[in-house]
Amino acid sequence: MKNYDLGTGKIGQLVRHFSVPCVISMLVAALYNIVDQIFIGWSPAGAFGNAATNIVYPFTVLALGLSLLVGDGAAANFSLECGRRKRDRADKSVGNGFLLLVILSLLLCLIGFIFKSQILKLFGASPEEKTCYEFAVQYFTVICSGLPFYMIGQGMNASIRADGSPKYAMACTLAGAITNLILDPLFIFAFNMGVKGAAIATVIGQALTFVMSIAYLFHAKNFKISKKSVRLETSILSRIISIGMASLIVQLSIVVIIAVNNNLLSKYGYETFASTGVAFGSVIPLAVVGIVMKVFGIVVSIVIGISLGGQPIIGFNMGAGNVERVKETIRTITKIVLAIGTVFFLIFELAPDFVISLFGKNNSPEYTEYARLCVRIFLSGIILTCFIKPAAIMLQSLGKSGKSTLLALLRDVIVFVPSSIILALLSHNIVTMLWASLISDIISFVFAIAFIMAETRKITQELSINIKEKAS
């Protein structure tokens, strides 16, 4: 940690140093499924293939959520213990996290294979839509087999960043993404494997990330994996889980959103497009909302990557008692994410057709019109989202897991899900229900501001007390 002067270096430079590779890592992780969707969109599978990947997507998000629960929790606790100069507990934070990742990844893989059909139905798949359902089964089967690679690789990435090697962490995910990008067109088009080929390319890329992450464990700078460090301890595990819970909630909320939306879209999609005579009424909204959710995921990955890049700075200085530096880090991150949110808001509102065109060509006027509305309405509160998501991570870095978890739940579950259901039931229209996103953004933004201001006041009070104690 001393190599990066977390306790004395300029905050702006530190945030940039840790955040840039972290953002790239988060983007690359988000792009795994998005790259698949882009190539599938331009393949013969088209909208049916994109709808299928949207059905499987929440299961991969669940896997990511579990890996971030452990990975972010272990990394944050590692940073805190380093700030307190407790080397033994820092080692155990990473070691316990690694073993827990192995256990959870194997368990989720087993559950996926045993309950495959039930899981697909839960996320909106309908056996009656045979083409889409078959694509979903093909994609799910391959993706499920690669879950251990995916979860362990993504989970250990946070500890590698916290260890002072953000560039290597970036290289791990970048290598896997580039591999996926190269193999996708090869398997989908050259080998004519379609949706299944896209899944195989993804798993191969994830396996490469996994291998590189494991290799780092033998050359870490500030922690050591040993028999002692991987021996599970209740106190360490509880700390990891409590700190990382917000990261899990963020991902679980996405799972809930997609599951609820997919089922609502399947039910009311037919009614919405009945008057147009479109035969595949449920496939259009499933494909479009899937695309928009992936775009949303890109933006969220950027701002979360920035806030995660600031996590070692906040955690170390909180542990060391440098509360003024903690406040400055929070201010710096907030300015950056709001600027990013403004840029994306302008893109979504002024050029929605460009955004949709990246995911393939569709000649259906109903598809184009719904896609345009979906981008403009569903993403209209993106500036607010770009503050809400980092606010949850910053609260997590401060050790305020309760407020962090509540904020994550508020935006994506407590407000959004009921709003979507109520709007859909009242209107029976899949356009009206899109406004639930803006409603949840506005309400959650108010709470996010209140939480951050409250913690900032507490930090200021702590600084005042520390000054008085030193003076006396």
Q: How far apart are the first and last CA of the chain?
A: 31
Is pLDDT of 412 > 60?
Answer: yes
Statement: residue 15 has pLDDT above 80: yes
- Residue 113: pLDDT band (50, 70, 90) is very high
Structure tokens at 191: 């080998």
Give 211-250 pLDDT, tens digit per residue: 999 999 988 888 888 888 889 899 999 999 988 887 787 7
Q: 438 to each of 20, 342, 382, 415, 431, how far by Cα in Å?
A: 29, 15, 8, 10, 13
Query: What is the per-residue pLDDT for 42?
Result: 85
| pLDDT interval class at 395 (50, 70, 90) | confident
pLDDT attached to residue 128: 75
Q: Where are the alpha helices (DSSP H) in 274-351?
A: 283-309, 311-320, 323-350
Q: pLDDT, tens digit, for every residue of 273-331?
A: 555 545 445 677 888 888 888 898 889 889 988 988 888 888 788 777 787 888 888 88
How high is the pLDDT of residue 468?
A: 64
Mean pLDDT across the stretch 62-68?
93
Cα–Cα distance, 239 to 319 (Å, whole number): 15
| Per-residue confidence band for 109, with pLDDT thresholds at 50, 70 and 90 | very high
Q: Which of 124-128, 162-166, 202-206 has the lowest mean pLDDT?
A: 124-128
| pTM for the whole structure | 0.73
Pick the residue with more confidence: 390 or 412?
390
224: left (phi over 0), alpha (psi -120 to 50) or beta: beta
pLDDT in tens, 348-385: 999 999 998 888 776 677 788 888 999 999 999 999 99
Is pLDDT at 197 greater than 80 in this prediction? yes
Write down the pLDDT at residue 408: 78
Give one DSSP letter per residue of 143-154, joined into a string: HHHTHHHHHHHH
